[in-house]
């Protein structure tokens, strides 16, 4: 069986998956989309393994559209933000947790066993998601980073903020900026989560009295550094796309530009060769084939690394800078992986 199938593992209403499928269709391919929402109620999977064979055989059929994934025919997989499984509503809490664990075990085992082209493998994505390691690897590669502290100690947090230039620091969440609302909705449907977003927050001496809350959960603090502009870097395979973001033109975007409706100017930018190579080296360190990186440029000309995201979005950048043809590049990269 020829390995020709391009599989996109995502979730319902993921617009990036929608756009890549449209692009692949326009190129003459027929990608198959597997949404985590379809597992298990809208998916029929049966896989077998025999003695002395090369690997697992069998298929997964998506019942809502009849599309079939033949595991022996998969050549490339785009792993893009899959969510929770949609389990039958009549299961008890314990039955739901057991079913979720069994589904997770089966599928993670299959993903680990598949000899296909990944963009990117879920285990590599998971490892690359830890901010503590990102910052360490970035500085080892030669990036400037802000002085950083992770702590659950209020006194250590106050001491660090006091030591920052101008006694100004930034607070950032380590995990979910949406404050686990999606997780609560998925795992505890009987509870209504509080929806909100924790943007990067400027901490000054006037806020030091509130740092006792650090005791409840680890917090990341970084020294505030002035910036000229922010930079969004997207790496797809061996290609690098960079856009400068004029965040300092608006008061509400000077600290965090990501969640604002302000009309920010975006432009294509050519990074210095050594900065571009550091970006590529960080992505390769984690064995990723897709990743975004956030940098900023200081008034004295330093390119400072803040974080990387294996799930970083790119469409909002491409909409503002159409010459950064990232949708086309990612579709081509998946298609190349699907060739014999």
Q: What is the reported pTM?
A: 0.93
Over residues 219-245, mean pLDDT: 97
Model pLDDT, residue 195 = 78
Domain check: are 109 and 82 in the same one?
yes
CATH number at residue 266: 3.30.470.20
229-237 average pLDDT score: 98
Residue 253: the pLDDT is: 92
Q: Which of 31-35, 260-264, 285-289 has the lowest mean pLDDT?
A: 260-264
Coil vs helix vs strand at 283 = helix
**Closest Cα to residue 67, out of 86, 37, 42, 40?**
42
What kind and span of H or E run contains 128?
helix 122-128
Contacts of 314 (CB under 8 A, 6+ apart): 16, 234, 241, 292, 326, 327, 330
Q: 247 lies in which domain range?
A: 121-143+226-333
What pLDDT band is residue 176 in, cutting at 50, 70 and 90? confident
335-340 average pLDDT score: 70
Asked if residue 305 belongs to a domain, the reply is yes
pLDDT bracket for residue 340 (50, 70, 90)? very low
Q: Is 338 inside a domain boundary?
A: no
| Total structural domains within the chain | 3
Assigned token pair, 138: 């970035």
Q: What is the pLDDT of residue 260?
A: 83
Q: Helix, strand, coil proportions of the chain in percent (round to 5)?
A: 35, 25, 40
Higher pLDDT, 187 or 227: 227
The answer to whether residues 208 and 161 touch, using CB atoms and an 8 Å cutoff, is yes
Query: Counting beta carbons within 10 angstroms of the beta carbon of residue 140, is it exposed (0 to 12), middle (13 to 18) or buried (19 or more)?
Result: exposed
310-321 mean pLDDT = 97
The reply to whether 54 and 78 lie within a common domain is: yes
pLDDT (tens digit per residue) in 102-121: 999 999 999 999 989 999 99
pLDDT at position 156 over 70:
yes
Condensed to tens digits (0 to 9), the pLDDT of residues 280-299 reads 999 999 999 999 999 999 99
Q: In what order do the strands lie in the sheet with 229-236?
A: 266-268, 239-245, 229-236, 290-297, 303-309
């Amino acid at each position: 069986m020829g390995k020709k199938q391009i599989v996109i593992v995502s979730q319902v209403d993921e617009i990036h998956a929608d756009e890549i499928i449209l692009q692949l269709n326009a190129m003459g391919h027929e990608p198959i989309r597997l949404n985590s929402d379809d597992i298990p109620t809208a998916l029929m999977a049966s896989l077998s393994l025999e003695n002395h064979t090369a690997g697992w055989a069998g298929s997964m059929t998506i019942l809502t559209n009849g599309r079939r994934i033949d595991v022996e025919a998969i050549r490339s997989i785009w792993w893009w933000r899959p969510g929770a499984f949609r389990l039958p509503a009549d299961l008890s809490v314990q039955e739901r947790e057991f079913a979720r664990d069994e589904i997770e075990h089966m599928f993670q085992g299959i993903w680990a066993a598949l000899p296909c082209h990944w963009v990117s493998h879920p285990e590599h994505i998971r490892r690359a998601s830890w901010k503590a390691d990102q910052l360490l690897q970035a500085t080892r590669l030669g990036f400037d980073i802000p002085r950083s502290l992770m702590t659950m100690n209020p006194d250590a947090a106050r001491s660090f903020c006091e030591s920052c230039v101008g006694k100004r620091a930034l607070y950032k969440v380590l995990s979910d900026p949406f404050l686990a609302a999606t997780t609560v909705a998925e795992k505890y449907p009987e509870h209504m989560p509080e929806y909100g977003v924790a943007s990067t927050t400027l901490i000054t001496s006037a806020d030091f009295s509130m740092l006792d809350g650090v005791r409840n959960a680890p917090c990341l603090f970084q020294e505030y550094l002035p910036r000229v502009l922010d930079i969004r870097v997207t790496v797809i395979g061996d290609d690098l796309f960079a856009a400068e973001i004029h965040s300092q033109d608006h008061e509400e975007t000077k600290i965090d530009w990501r969640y604002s409706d302000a009309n920010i100017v975006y432009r294509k930018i050519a990074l210095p060769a050594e900065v571009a190579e550091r970006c590529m080296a960080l992505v390769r360190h984690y064995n990723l084939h897709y990743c975004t990186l956030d940098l900023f440029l200081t008034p004295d000309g330093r390119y400072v690394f803040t974080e990387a995201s294996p799930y970083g979005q790119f469409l909002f950048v491409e909409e503002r800078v159409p010459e950064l043809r990232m949708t086309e590049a990612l579709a081509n990269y998946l298609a190349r992986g699907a060739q014999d």
